[in-house]
Chains A and B, each alone.
Chain A
Amino acid sequence: MKIIKYELRNAKYKSVIICLFLLIPFNAFLIMSAASAAKWGGVDESVVEKYATEHGRKARNPLINTDQGDLLLFLFLLAGTAGGFVAGYYWRQLTEKKKATKVVQDSSK
């Protein structure tokens, strides 16, 4: 029993060490790639706007310019929350309906 306990503890340590060794290169890879591409910019900036500017077409400000300070962050959060609630609401409607019909079928039996 003691041997088993010892082996189990040993296995725990081994797994933790393997995880750490795998996380270090992953972390380094993320930092290196982030540094090389400057701040994780979107492909609209790094590709679309870059080539457009090279060919004399510059992006204009949008009609309603929400890209100011933390306003855009707030709007993205709001959009994600609203989208998530709508998706959840309809998902519930879709799956609850099935349960309801099942209950009706069961009661008719």
Chain B
Amino acid sequence: MKLQITNYKLQHFKFKIQNSEFKFKNCRVFALLLTAYGLLLTPGEAHAMHISEGILPVNWAALWFAVSIFFVAYGLRRLKILSRTDLSVKPLVGLLAAIVFVISCMPIPVPTAGTCSHPGGTAIPAILVGPSISVLVAAVALLIQALFLAHGGLSTLGADIASMGVMGAFTGFAVFKLLRRFHVNLSISAFFAGMLSDWAIYLTTSVELAAAIRGDAAFMPLFTKIVIAFVPTQLPLGILEGVMTAGMVSLLARRRVDLLVKLGVIEPEHAGETA
């Protein structure tokens, strides 16, 4: 009798393990189904967030060009210095440039708002190779998009570089460094850097737009209106950008921790910490 009970308990335990495995597999299937649903319900035509051609008056377009050209030139100089001293940086910059380009022209449907928008992606290179090189990478991506993908415009390129490149990169970099100074985990620091970088991009776009189109109207009410209009789309998208940034940084930390130590992203004493 005792043996039978023990046997039953063992089988029951086996069943519990099988059941938990089954539930875990089911969760993955469910997540895949949700993603497929999201993608299937997205129509083909989708646009994104850059300020389109002709929206900014000439004086404002020229001002943002003047601001961004300084950062682009500095980024070019930094890249030259960095690649002269360390050749292994080149493939990393190439990878980051491709990532920023793909991410910033990928319209993501946001069900909470029923609109599409895209992450900036500039926090990732800002954390890994510095904010100035991130501005350069963003400028190249934005130029290609403005020329061939009807995405942004040539006259508004300066404003788009200032928001996505300069503000996105420098905010992401500053947040990451600040959190790391307080010994926050690598992935969590990268998450907040990505999320706040995304929100900073849209705050800057709101400033650029409100300042340029307000005419004689007051700046603050229009700025607030634009920011509020961005919130339903950008709030969840910022969180997604945070997840993407954390994923990319922790993946590189697992695969090439030596490179991250060399670039100063991780301190040598924290090289073992990968997530």
A-binding residues in B (CB < 8 A): 11-12, 14-15, 18-19, 22-23, 26, 29-30, 33-34, 37-38, 41-57, 88, 91-92, 94-95, 97-99, 101-102, 105-107, 109, 111-117, 144, 146-150, 153-154, 205, 209, 212-215, 217, 222, 225-226, 229-230, 233-234, 255-256, 258-259
Chain A nearest CB, measured from B56 CB (Å): 8
B-binding residues in A (CB < 8 A): 1, 4, 7-8, 11-12, 15, 19, 22-23, 26-27, 29-31, 33-52, 55-67, 72-73, 75-76, 79-80, 83-84, 86-87, 89-91, 93-95, 97-98
Chain A nearest CB, measured from B64 CB (Å): 14
Are the CB atoms of A57 and B54 closer together than 8 Å?
A: yes
Cβ of A36: which chain B residues have Cβ within 8 Å of it? Answer: 114
Are the CB atoms of A51 and B225 closer together than 8 Å?
A: yes
Closest 4 CB pairs of A and B: A37-B114, A42-B47, A60-B54, A90-B95
Residue of A nearest to B47 (CB): A42
Are the CB atoms of B111 and A30 closer together than 8 Å?
A: yes
Are the CB atoms of B49 and A97 closer together than 8 Å?
A: no
Cβ of B101: which chain A residues have Cβ within 8 Å of it? Answer: 79, 83
Are the CB atoms of B259 and A94 closer together than 8 Å?
A: yes
Residue of A nearest to B146 (CB): A62
Q: How far is the CA of A8 from the CA of B113 in the complex (A)?
A: 40
Given A23-B37, A94-B259: A79 and B98 within 8 A (CB)?
A: no
Given A7-B15, A15-B23: A29 and B147 within 8 A (CB)?
A: no
Chain A nearest CB, measured from B247 CB (Å): 14
Are the CB atoms of B45 and A39 closer together than 8 Å?
A: yes
Residue of B nearest to A31 (CB): B41
Are the CB atoms of A90 and B91 closer together than 8 Å?
A: yes
Cβ of B88: which chain A residues have Cβ within 8 Å of it? Answer: 97
Are the CB atoms of B49 and A48 closer together than 8 Å?
A: yes
Residue of A nearest to B8 (CB): A3
10 examples of A-B residue contacts, CB within 8 angstroms:
A34-B41, A40-B46, A40-B109, A47-B233, A55-B222, A59-B55, A60-B54, A63-B153, A95-B256, A98-B255
**Residue of A8, A50, A52, A66 with most partner-chain B CB within 10 A:** A52
The total of interchain contacts (Cβ-Cβ below 8 angstroms) comes to 205
Are the CB atoms of A55 and B215 closer together than 8 Å?
A: yes
Which of A39, A52, A86 is B55 in contact with, Cβ under 8 Å?
A52
Which of B29, B34, B56, B99 is A26 in contact with, Cβ under 8 Å?
B34
Cβ of A79: which chain B residues have Cβ within 8 Å of it? Answer: 101-102, 105, 144, 148-149
Given contacts A43-B229, A86-B95, list 12 more A-B pairs with CB under 8 A: A19-B29, A27-B37, A30-B37, A42-B116, A43-B234, A44-B50, A51-B222, A57-B54, A59-B153, A62-B52, A62-B146, A64-B150
Given A57-B54, A86-B98: A33 and B149 within 8 A (CB)?
A: no
Q: How far is the CA of A83 from the CA of B148 in the complex (A)?
A: 14
Are the CB atoms of A66 and B226 closer together than 8 Å?
A: no
Are the CB atoms of A51 and B102 closer together than 8 Å?
A: no
